Amino acid sequence: MADQRLTEACQRCHERWGIWGFSVLEVPDGDNFSLLARMRPELTLRRQLLIADGSTLVANGFPLLSTLSYPHWTVQLAQPDGGTFARVDVAANTECSRQAGVGRDERS
């Protein structure tokens, strides 16, 4: 995860919602990336997306807030700094992969 991109995403979130956080998208049915790509075609333009388990993020102290419309969520952070971003990386396992037409690193 690039700290600069996360910082920018957190700033946009703070401007919009008044909280520090970044956007994530839930994968329908747990692993249906094709359906997610149909729901959010912009994802097909991404080279990579971070795969993270929501319950693992929550268990590690990062609340998930339902924002906008399904499948959009916001991962809430106490503060947008390198230490917090490193904790998110560990909690998410930072398993990045390339998948036919679907990337996985969209945060805004």
- Predicted confidence at residue 61, as pLDDT, reads 93
Which residue in the block uniquely carries the two structure tokens 């998930």?
Answer: 64
pTM to 2 decimal places = 0.78
Query: In one letter, which amino acid is 22?
Result: F
- Predicted confidence at residue 52, as pLDDT, reads 81
Token pair of 94 as six digits: 């930072």
Token pair of 47 as six digits: 């080279």
Cβ-contact 56, 100 below 8 angstroms: no
- Predicted confidence at residue 31, as pLDDT, reads 82
Report mean pLDDT in 10-residue bins for the chain, 108 residues.
Answer: 84 96 89 90 83 86 92 94 90 53 41
Cβ-contact 103, 48 below 8 angstroms: yes
- Each domain of the chain, given as residue ranges in start order, spans 3-97
β-bridge partners, 22: 75
DSSP symbol at 27: P
